[in-house]
């Protein structure tokens, strides 16, 4: 599994529930098209965490890099319903940071026998 991590703040935290609705519509659309496997939105609790990573964290899971690439390909069109959904999310975000991780050890990795 690949994990596309996104950390960010909201421009206006009073719009937090509206943001959640917008994100659900956007990522739910990508999931329904099987361009992502799943996603989760979390929010920093009690102010714990690195400030430069932002108050919110979104983990988008894909089964392969090909699936992630498919999601990026469709987003690169910047048109249609998906662009409208994306704009509703992106317009509310500031201090965007991202990273790509994978489950480890990789499922195809050969693990030598012990002893």
Beta-carbon neighbour count of residue 67 at 10 Å? 17
Architecture of the 2-102 domain: 2-Layer Sandwich (3.30)
Average pLDDT, the chain: 94
pLDDT confidence of residue 105: 87
The pTM assigned to this predicted structure is 0.89
pLDDT confidence of residue 109: 80
Determine the average pLDDT of the residues in 94-115. Answer: 89
CA neighbours closer than 13 Å in the CB half-sphere of residue 92: 18
């Amino acid at each position: 599994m690949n994990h596309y991590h996104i950390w960010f703040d909201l421009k206006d935290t009073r719009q937090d529930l509206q943001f959640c609705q917008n994100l659900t519509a956007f990522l739910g659309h990508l999931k329904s098209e099987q361009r992502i496997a799943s996603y989760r939105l979390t929010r920093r609790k009690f102010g714990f965490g690195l400030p430069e990573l932002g108050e919110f964290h979104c983990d988008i899971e894909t089964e392969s890099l090909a699936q992630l690439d498919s999601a990026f390909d469709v987003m690169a069109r910047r048109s249609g319903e998906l662009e409208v959904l994306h704009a509703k999310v992106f317009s509310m975000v500031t201090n965007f940071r991202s990273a790509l991780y994978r489950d480890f050890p990789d499922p195809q990795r050969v693990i030598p026998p012990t002893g």
